[in-house]
Structure 1
């Protein structure tokens, strides 16, 4: 269920979401559209993204702007961000959501695998922020929200490159917050627990593993992508105007 809270300042705001075509990103795209925001999102999956745009438009009257982009290509990433600003106006909310949580063995990890993994899970966060910061500065401020993960906090054993990237996002968030705070640009991170997306169900969820995880949560319910919408809207809105350099853990109370 999407958040029912309305933030008037997000109505008409230019918002950019990376990885906004599926999973958590799709819920965020819909969530900002329901606020009346001018939403642009980057994704590599064309068919699913177009379907999302059509559904969101039918339900909200607002069609998100889909820009097919491989975030590993920094030049393409910057070009798409520039295009979003050209169509929707200066971007004042950036959500760095794109990620690739593939499991991998330490023994089989190559330099090429490591570099590719980091080019999806960490590097785009930095260069997306670099691309939007000048416009936010001219606009008098903005909000950058970086998705990290609780995986590196719970010693997840199956994806060392991914968890390294997710820890790095926290450091990047704090460094950018210190750098950009003087320009009224807030930079925060969200660390989800196990959010059960279609991808998770297809690849890793079993009845037993899900029950065991929910048992660790204080709130005994399955987390879904919509559960990330409220926290992101809060961090994007003026309700959090003095909140920066923080990591908000949304995991049902596991930690």
Structure 2
């Protein structure tokens, strides 16, 4: 039987962005529900975070619809999820020629189908409790795709469409559905990716971070806390729904075809 306690669920919680979101949401009385594919890593990150109240932690493969259904039933026994953050993501390099069918299917399963299944599972509880909030984590690739991101950009664009559809469908139940559109965010995973993809030394990797930061009008890429702050705002605001908010330091507002002008 559910205890009646309010729950905030974050997928992909073992990563730096997911953990930053969890820390930000765990400050207002809701008990956290955290899931990730890597069960050992999520236990380690939870122990390091030192939450005031122990979260409920689950290992979950979002590619498995049966596992998602079982997870939703397990969570419902602990209370009502009134904040759902679909943060987990799968990204594989490859253009439309090089990307395999497996890459495309995995990207679909994690980036688009899982948010649909989780929202479908938890929205009835939100409705019965008088409302709630769903926040989907998309990407700037959904709006301005870079090379070699065919599957990822496609699914993140689809996630924005799903966000709008759910906002239209669920608004009458006082369920708000919004999306965050982050730019590149400084995480340990990104540092590994940028180093491994290009075979860079640590020093050159720092230079690449500097170059990427320079593409943003604010002079830096995002930090995990920037994403968490925006998620918390959308989770608690009362009358924003169907919105997709860029957290990109002005990246997509800036046309970088001309040399910078001096003041």
- Give TM-score, length-normalised by structure 1: 0.89
Does the aligned pair in 1 maintain the 2:185–2:222 contact within 8 Å? yes
Structure 1: give runs of 5+ residues left out of the alignment.
1-11
Counterpart of 2:84 in 1: which secondary structure? strand
CA drift of 1:37 comes to 2.2
Alignment of 1:195 with 2:195, yes or no, is no
> Displaced runs of 4+ in structure 1, greater than 3 A?
none
CA drift of 1:149 comes to 0.3
* Aligned position for 2:240: 243
Does the aligned pair in 1 maintain the 2:87–2:136 contact within 8 Å? yes
- 1:150-206 Cα offsets, whole Å, 9 max, x none, are 013232111100000000000000001000001110000000001011110011152
Does the aligned pair in 1 maintain the 2:182–2:222 contact within 8 Å? no
Bigger Cα displacement from structure 2, 106-115 vs 154-163: 106-115
Does the aligned pair in 2 maintain the 1:103–1:159 contact within 8 Å? yes
* Aligned position for 1:181: 171
Q: Of the two, which has the highest radius of gyration?
A: 2
* Aligned position for 2:46: 53
* Aligned position for 1:77: 68
* Aligned position for 1:207: 206
- 1:56-115 Cα offsets, whole Å, 9 max, x none, are 3x3x3211111110001112112212212212x111000000101221233222323311
Work out the CA distance in 2 between the residues paired with 1:35 and 1:101.
Answer: 32
**Which of 142, 152, 156 is the matching residue for 1:162?**
152
Bigger Cα displacement from structure 2, 216-225 vs 69-78: 216-225
Work out the CA distance in 2 between the residues paired with 1:121 and 1:222.
Answer: 22
Alignment of 1:219 with 2:210, yes or no, is no
Counterpart of 1:203 in 2: which secondary structure? helix
* Aligned position for 2:13: 20
**Which of 16, 27, 31 is the matching residue for 1:38?**
31
- Give TM-score, length-normalised by structure 2: 0.86
Does the aligned pair in 2 maintain the 1:53–1:65 contact within 8 Å? no
Alignment of 1:252 with 2:249, yes or no, is yes
* Aligned position for 1:3: none
Q: Over aligned residue pairs, what C-alpha RMSD do you find?
A: 1.5
